[in-house]
Amino acid sequence: MESSDLKKAGLKATLPRIKILNFLESSGRDRHMSAEDVYKAMLESGEEVGLATVYRVLTQFESAGLVTRHNFEGDHSVFELNDGEHHDHILCVKCGRVEEFVDEVIEQRQHAIAKENGFAMTDHALYIYGVCGDCQKK
């Protein structure tokens, strides 16, 4: 459906790419998914795409700015559809819940710190880990 988005991103509108993009757009709550997550979820919904293709396409989407890659799990990457607005994440170490936030003070301090150290900042990753409200009750 969104083959226009793909072409705009300089990517040929192939069936696997369309399927994966559609899938990411329709995965409301669980926005943050690993390649394996995407692969399995698509299998279950009958949309067959090779695992290697999922990895390739997600990486291409990242380069094209369609998705963002995160490494807050340490041992594997998770991806989320890029909605244009940057945000950071706070994660529950018990249940895996993920909340998003933006803090202008932190954003500004980061730029200041980069400048202080003579760096031209290109990116940053901020992950806050903790126990969410629900998990504290248990």
Partner DNA sequence: GTTTGAATGAGAATCTTTCGCATTTAGACC
Partner DNA sequence: GGTCTAAATGCGAAAGATTCTCATTCAAAC
82 binds, among a second copy, DNA, Mn ion, none (CB under 5 to 8 A by kind): none
SS3 state of residue 109: helix
Length of the chain: 138
By a kind-dependent CB cut-off of 5 to 8 A, residue 15 interacts, out of DNA, a second copy, Zn ion, none, with DNA
Does 68 engage in binding with DNA (CB under 7 A)?
Answer: no
Q: Which of residues 42-81 bind Zn ion (CB under 5 A)?
A: none
Query: Does 88 interact with Mn ion (rule: CB under 5 A)?
Result: no
100, 101, 127, 130: which one binds Mn ion (CB under 5 A)? 100
Closest by CA to 110, choosing from 87, 129, 127, 126, is 126
CA distances from 75 to 40, 69, 71, 99, 125 (A): 18, 13, 8, 20, 16
The DSSP letter of residue 48 is -
Q: What is the CA radius of gyration of the chain?
A: 17
Residues interacting with a second copy, by CB under 8 A? Answer: 71-72, 74, 77, 90, 92-93, 99, 101, 103, 105-106, 109-110, 113-114, 116-133, 136
8 binds DNA (CB under 7 A): no
Per CB under 7 A, 75 contacts DNA: yes
Tokens representing residue 12 in the block:
């040929």
